[in-house]
């Protein structure tokens, strides 16, 4: 596995200003919803093969957009966080600190903490990436996204968050944020990704979850005690960025693993 490009290497040209989204008028149902709804007679013979091609297109577009992305960090958090909230300020500070350290940032491209992180990175001169998702209500990519793409399928979008990042940072959020957190931890626990830092920011917010994992999961043998070491909790932006950098250097000091994957991502399978 070769090292990812550094901050001084080629970076895709920034695309400032409005990002052209794939969709026009917002529909009452989404592509994901129609794919997963199996009520009524199957239409596989008539429409599902075309859906397979559309899914393939999502992956091709994502790979094409992000193929030359320099080393990057995916940041997750609530879309509902207001701009005057402390968590918004933390996200903005984090985006700027990552940019100064030579990292591109990848978010879901929406409002709230996603906007804050994109904003901080863009204002600091870094590369700010937004990977949006088609929803049944209006939510376009935020104005601080330099490089953006809207996905129809959650699973294609999730692949991009992992394949093109060297770390995850999770700020306070709801169901979507929890989904992304536990998917990241599952990938690390099962060694689908190696030396992949998962950082939780906002210790007060995460404390009840950590207590639940420690007091309910470990005694029942549902996770191992060492699984609590798969993530790092901090309130310090500089500490988070330093932890990411140290893990990155450690990973790339080790011998490369032949994966057959031409992109220097994090997958070993």
* pLDDT given for residue 55 in this prediction: 87
Domain residue limits, the chain: 44-253
Residue-wise pLDDT tens digits, 14-51: 444 444 434 444 455 555 555 556 555 555 445 667 78
* pLDDT given for residue 138 in this prediction: 54
Cβ density class 223-249: b for 16+ within 10 Å, e for less: beeeeeebbbbbeebeebbebbbebbe
SS3 content of the chain, % helix, strand, coil (to 5): 40, 10, 45
Quick one: CA dihedral 83, 84, 90, 94, positive or negative?
positive
* pLDDT given for residue 28 in this prediction: 54
* pLDDT given for residue 31 in this prediction: 58
Q: What's the first-to-final CA gap in the chain, in angstroms? A: 12
* pLDDT given for residue 36 in this prediction: 58
Low-confidence ranges of the chain (pLDDT < 70): 1-48, 137-139, 253-269
Question: Tokens for 259?
Answer: 């994966």
CATH of 44-253, one of 3.30.360.10, 3.90.110.10, 3.40.50.450, 3.40.630.10: 3.40.50.450
* pLDDT given for residue 11 in this prediction: 42
* pLDDT given for residue 91 in this prediction: 98
In Å, what is the CA distance from 160 to each residue of 156, 205, 228? Answer: 7, 27, 25
Q: How many CB atoms lie within 10 A of CB 199?
A: 22
């Amino acid at each position: 596995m070769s090292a990812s490009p550094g901050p001084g290497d080629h970076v895709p040209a920034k695309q400032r200003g409005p990002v052209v989204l794939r969709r026009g008028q917002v529909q009452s149902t989404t592509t994901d919803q129609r794919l997963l709804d199996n009520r009524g007679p199957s239409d596989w013979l008539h429409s599902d093969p075309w859906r397979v091609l559309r899914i393939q297109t999502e992956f091709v577009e994502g790979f094409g957009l992000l193929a030359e992305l320099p080393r990057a960090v995916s940041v997750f958090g609530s879309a509902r966080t207001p701009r005057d909230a402390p968590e918004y300020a933390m996200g903005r500070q984090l985006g700027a600190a990552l940019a100064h350290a030579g990292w591109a940032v990848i978010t879901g491209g929406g409002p709230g903490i996603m906007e804050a992180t994109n904003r901080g990175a863009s204002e600091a001169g870094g590369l700010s990436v937004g990977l949006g998702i088609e929803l049944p209500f209006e939510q376009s990519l935020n104005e601080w996204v330099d490089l953006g793409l809207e996905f129809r399928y959650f699973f294609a979008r999730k692949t991009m968050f992992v394949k093109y990042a060297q770390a995850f940072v999770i700020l306070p959020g709801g169901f979507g944020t929890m989904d992304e957190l536990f998917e990241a931890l599952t990938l690390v626990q099962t060694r689908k990704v190696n030396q992949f830092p998962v950082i939780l920011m906002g210790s007060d917010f995460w404390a009840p979850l950590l207590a639940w994992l420690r007091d309910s999961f470990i005694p029942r043998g549902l996770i191992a005690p060492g699984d609590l070491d798969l993530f790092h909790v901090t309130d310090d932006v500089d500490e988070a960025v330093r932890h990411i950098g140290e893990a990155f250097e450690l990973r790339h000091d080790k011998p490369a693993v032949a994966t057959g994957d031409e992109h220097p991502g994090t997958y070993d399978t």
